[in-house]
Chains A and B, each alone.
Chain A
């Protein structure tokens, strides 16, 4: 990680000009610590963040490696083995229809629940990450442009206000229903929906990032090191890339965590309302929506994807909370 120039501490008063012995430090001065090591130390103290980070890594690995370890096709219909209960149901109900070949049971069409959970998680996480990154890129670009270039500030911030006053969920639904057909035609049913959902979530969620980044850029660009950089003839692009962006990295990281959480929830909500991915493509939200009508007999089909969504979002939120504490120099070290 690059350090911004103002982090370089000037070591004033070296050994020679220490006049009074009593004023000397008893212990040797500690080796310099980097900012990111401090952040990591603080983050490690935050139990919620550590739990969140571990769970996020676990779930990411599970959905990435899972399909290679558990090679059942999630979309394969196995109508003879439909409506299996999860294997753990056998503990309290010996007559339940369970089987080791379907560890988490199967749905009303005989599709394997574990395979569906893995595939659904893959889709949800992919949408979440892609939408979060896209929204961060848009938000940061607009925030930096508005903060750095005075001429762009007015128009871009009015645009942000305009987007903030749009009713988001209705518009999201409108946009998904409108653009579904053309995108499906050109990129295939799954690819088209993926592009559509990611773009729409990103377009409707970049505004907070843009506002925070603009505020920070406005404050930082008045600092001396930026003036120094400008006075030696650094171009605006270099100033932004080398001096401003590293300094606004912490608010960006915090809004990244929050953005990931909202993106996952929004995707699941769209799937739940039936405007998400096509019906044979499993996502957590879609599994939940499909299972709601049968939740009296098969509560686990609601619980499993529901708990998966909730735990993922919970861990991401905790990670974001911890990051915010760790990246805030006023709180750090307390």
Chain B
């Protein structure tokens, strides 16, 4: 197992290098110019110098190498400096956003909490709802509960977040006036009232996201439970005289959770990736919103670094899911 994990970890480095190279080369084709906003009165040679200062004048491969060094070598140093108060990164150039002229990673760190709060809680809520629904609908297959559950998950599957979002706003903010329609990022939670306000503003985005994630997870859970409920070991367990509760929760559920846990692990990168559309609808100031504003502002270093972070997370959690599969299921051996 350890050798397998190490081999996969080492193999993921060239994969990530290749992905980052592809994204970088794609971005090189971008038509925009970071100097487009500079006033026309600035003489061209000064503009050329400014371009050089942003690192744009050099050939693409040199730029890629510099970006790679900044992301993979200097940014970890900055992080270590931040943790231990050392000064390894003193005077070294970090990845600079063209929009704000400040380090990209600083902005990412600022935006991460909002995304984690909203998307992370939605994920937890979705897991808590989806698992019981999936288990019970499989146990009572074709019952009214199962039909209703399947219908609701189908709706969650089909109704896009850019429709459920506005719909919830119309119902709960406009008609009923219960919940705020815009997520206030500046809210500081320090007492009961502000905590309540924070909860109120989180309800709708969390509901929109949780509906989607619940739909996917409960379908998996149901299918996986159905696969296991007809197995021979379930009959044996019943024949031993175990109660239905023990049979379902201890025997069947444990075995059915194996694929579901890996699916949950595979979904974790999307928590950090943020929900671009939901964040947009509710004006949550998160990572997804950061990416889309950076895209529209032609802020290539920001876009590049963000997509690279997403790619790292996806590759990492793919690996974790595979390893989890091997750990949880003794039938699977990676040799």
- Chain A interface (Cβ < 8 Å from any Cβ of B): 48, 161-162, 164-167, 169-171, 173-175, 177-179, 181-182, 261, 265, 268-269, 272-273, 285, 288-289, 292, 295-296, 299, 302-303, 306, 309-310, 313-314, 317-318, 321
Contact = CB atoms under 8 A, between A and B. Distances in A.
| Top 8 A-B pairs, shortest CB-CB distance | A306-B163, A167-B310, A314-B158, A313-B158, A310-B159, A272-B162, A165-B314, A165-B315
B276 interface: yes
A255 to B, nearest CB: 15
Interface string B236-261: 00000000000000000000000000
Given A302-B170, A306-B167, A317-B157, A167 B314 contact: yes
Interface stretch (B19-27, B41-49, B111-119, B121-129): B19-27
Interface of B: 15, 18-19, 23, 26-27, 29-31, 154-155, 157-160, 162-163, 166-167, 169-170, 174, 269, 273, 276-277, 280-281, 291-292, 295-296, 303, 306-307, 310-311, 314-315, 318
- Prevailing SS type, chain A contact patch: helix
A318 B154 CA distance: 8
Given A269-B160, A288-B162, A295-B166, 12 more contacts: A167-B307, A170-B276, A174-B26, A261-B158, A269-B277, A288-B163, A296-B174, A299-B170, A302-B163, A302-B167, A310-B159, A314-B154
Nearest to B310: A167
Contact of A309 (B154, B160, B174): B160
A171 B163 contact: no
Given A165-B19, A167-B311, A273-B280, A181 B31 contact: yes
B23 A178 contact: no
B315 A310 contact: no
A165 B273 contact: no
A24 B27 CA distance: 74
A166 B315 CA distance: 9
A303 B269 CA distance: 32
A296 B170 contact: yes
Contacts of B160: 265, 268-269, 309-310, 313
Contact of A295 (B29, B174, B280): B174
Nearest to A293: B166
B19 A173 contact: no
Contacts of A181: 31
A174 B166 contact: no
A171 B307 contact: yes
A162 B170 contact: no
Given A171-B23, A295-B174, A310 B311 contact: no
Contact of B295 (A48, A177, A261, A265): A177
A76 B276 CA distance: 33
Contact of A175 (B26, B157, B310): B26
A317 B154 contact: yes
Nearest to A307: B163
Contacts of A167: 269, 273, 307, 310-311, 314
Contacts of B166: 288, 292, 295, 302, 306
A178 B32 CA distance: 9
Contacts of B174: 295-296
A272 B280 CA distance: 10
Contacts of A314: 154-155, 157-159
Contacts of B277: 269, 272-273
A169 B276 contact: yes
Contacts of B27: 174, 178
A269 B162 contact: yes
Contacts of B306: 170
A321 B296 CA distance: 38
Nearest to B29: A178
B29 A162 contact: no
Contacts of A261: 158
Given A178-B30, A265-B160, A269-B277, A170 B291 contact: yes
A295 B169 CA distance: 9
Contacts of A313: 157-160
Nearest to A173: B295
29 contacts: A162-B18, A165-B15, A167-B273, A167-B311, A169-B273, A169-B276, A170-B303, A173-B276, A173-B291, A174-B295, A178-B31, A265-B160, A268-B162, A269-B160, A272-B277, A285-B162, A288-B166, A292-B166, A299-B170, A302-B167, A306-B159, A306-B167, A310-B155, A310-B158, A310-B160, A310-B163, A313-B160, A314-B157, A321-B154
